[in-house]
Amino acid sequence: MDGSEALTELDLGWREEPLGLARLAAMARRNLWLIGLGLVLGIGLGLGYIILAQPVYTASATIRVDLDRGGPADAATVMRLDNHVALIESDEMTAAVIRELGLDEIFDARPGRLQRTVQEIRGWFGLDTDPGPDPTPGAEAGTADARAEIIRVVGAALEVERIGNTAMIAVSYLSPSRRLAMEIANAYAESYVETARAQAQAVNDARVSRLQERMEDVRRKAESALETARRLRFQDGQPVSDAADLTRQVAQLKERLADSEIEAKTTRARLDVLSGVTDVAALPVGAQQTERIAELHGNLVATTRRLDLLRARDASAAAIAQLEGMIADLRESLTQELGQLSDSLELRLATVVATRSSLEGELRALMDYGRSASWSQLQAAEREARVYQEMYDGYRKDLETVYLQSTRPEVSVTSEALIPVSPSFPRYKAVLALACAFGLALGVGLALYREWSR
């Protein structure tokens, strides 16, 4: 059988027989060297890429945002965190970092050689109407376009993101230099914290100034209202401080009037009893209102009984006359005591009546004052003073809260960036894994092509 017939049979075998694992294993054994060659080639390409690629290092600093000051809504919290992220990524923050670290001397903002060549060719043909900044280093340092380009270049390697659902923000910077990556990441974090604190302090100072102005204005108004109330209170000669004091004084006057009314009725009743006495010997118990009167009445009754006994026994006229003299003296003394008591009660009744009249006058004056326009003005002035005092206390509490917040920074650096140990790009293991996969696929592809070509 010649070579053409063998190729025909091999070709027919590929076309007619199914491609199973046994045939693939046989093919691999026949082309093992070719598969190994492809694998070695892939690994070599991967190692060459790793060796030739410029490693990039990532350094990260962490910033914590105090979320206790905002509202409880989750949406508001997320918006505040996003605002912090946007401010860190802003051009103003990048410009501050550039000034702090002098990055305009490190980063070259001039266009690359290829871009400059294309611009020159377009300029020859008159196609470029905007030649751009002067390519000389000395001229570009002072132009706005050069500064904007440096900001763009520096900011392009910045990565700022929130860490999960926490209040932490990661500030990462990518650079071929480990130390530069660390310095720039820390500079971003510290510059933003200082800027945020300065802005917060400015806001707090403005709030403190506004609150102090309002407190001073409210204090002046409260003092003016109190002065008006004091003037209204003393110009009418009424010793009343407020509505509660007025109510208390009215109640006291009514109570004293009631007591005087009871005393007057009691005194009149005692006088009525005394005025109804016609015979001191038959003095009723209600008229015996003092111990002296009771004693004299008791002696008079006892002496009268002794006289009756002597008369019944037919005693001597001298003894009877003596007892009659004693009875006369007792009657006269008792009559005098009753007269004195009656005069005392009449004087006391007159005093009670006069006191009651005076109390009624005071009560009418006080109640008239409570219904007067002066009292209404006084009440209005006191209410105004209380309102201003409550406003003053509220502003004072707000001021204390502002002072408390100013001592607790809203943004702080929780962890500074450290010098990275391994590069974030390229990832050696991932590149080698991809290179092995590529080399293996290349070797298998070459093996399949060789088998097919036979």
Helix H, strand E, coil C: the string for the chain is: CCHHHHHHHHHHHHHHCCCCHHHHHHHHHHCHHHHHHHHHHHHHHHHHHHHHCCCEEEEEEEEEECCCCCCCCHHHHHHHHHHHHHHHCCHHHHHHHHHHHCHHHCCCCCCCHHHHHHHHHHHHCCCCCCCCCCCCHHHHCCCHHHHHHHHHHHHHCEEEEECCCCCEEEEEEEECCHHHHHHHHHHHHHHHHHHHHHHHHHHHHHHHHHHHHHHHHHHHHHHHHHHHHHHHHHHCCCCCCCHHHHHHHHHHHHHHHHHHHHHHHHHHHHHHHHHCCCCHHHCCHHHCCCHHHHHHHHHHHHHHHHHHHHHHCCCCHHHHHHHHHHHHHHHHHHHHHHHHHHHHHHHHHHHHHHHHHHHHHHHHHHHHHHCCHHHHHHHHHHHHHHHHHHHHHHHHHHHHHHHHHHCCCCEEEEECCCCCCCCCECCHHHHHHHHHHHHHHHHHHHHHHHHHHC
- Rounded to two decimals, the pTM is 0.55
How far is 129 from 176, CA to CA, in rounded Å?
36
Whether residue 419 has pLDDT greater than 60: yes
Reported as a pLDDT band with limits 50, 70 and 90, residue 138 is very low
Q: What local confidence, expressed as pLDDT, does residue 8 receive?
A: 47
- CA separation for the pair 454, 449 (Å, rounded): 9
What is the rounded average pLDDT of the residues 143-164? 85
- Is 60 exceeded by the pLDDT of residue 199? yes
User: In the numeric block, which tokens belong to residue 418?
Assistant: 């450290």
Phi, psi of 57 (to 5 degrees): -110, 145
**pLDDT at site 189:** 92
Nearest to 404 by CA among 239, 133, 204, 178: 204
Among 20-24, 328-332, 449-453, the range scoring the smallest mean pLDDT is 20-24
Q: Work out the number of other CB atoms within 10 angstroms of the CB of residue 72.
A: 7
pLDDT band of residue 220 (cuts 50, 70, 90) is: very high
Q: Record the tokens describing residue 339, joined without a space.
A: 């007269």
First to last CA, the chain: 17
CA dist 347 and 13 (Å) reads 153
For residues 210 and 233, what is the distance between their CA atoms, to the nearest angstrom?
Answer: 34
Q: Check pLDDT > 50 for residue 141.
A: no
- CA-CA distance, 408 to 64, in Å (whole number)? 12
| pLDDT above 70 for 1 | no
Whether 11 has a pLDDT exceeding 60, the answer reads no
Query: For residue 432, which of 178, 173, 174, 53 has the smallest C-alpha distance?
Result: 53
Q: Per-residue pLDDT tens for 300-350?
A: 888 888 888 888 887 788 888 888 888 888 888 888 888 888 888 889 989
Residue 97 reports pLDDT greater than 60: yes
Residue 71 clears pLDDT 60, i.e. is over it:
no
Neighbours of 424 (CB within 10 A): 15
User: How far apart, in whole angstroms, are the C-alpha atoms of residue 206 and residue 212?
Assistant: 10
Alpha-carbon gap, residue 84 to 188, rounded angstroms? 12
pLDDT at residue 228 in the model: 83
What is the rounded average pLDDT of the residues 135-143? Answer: 49
What's the CA gap between 172 and 412, in Å, rounded? 16
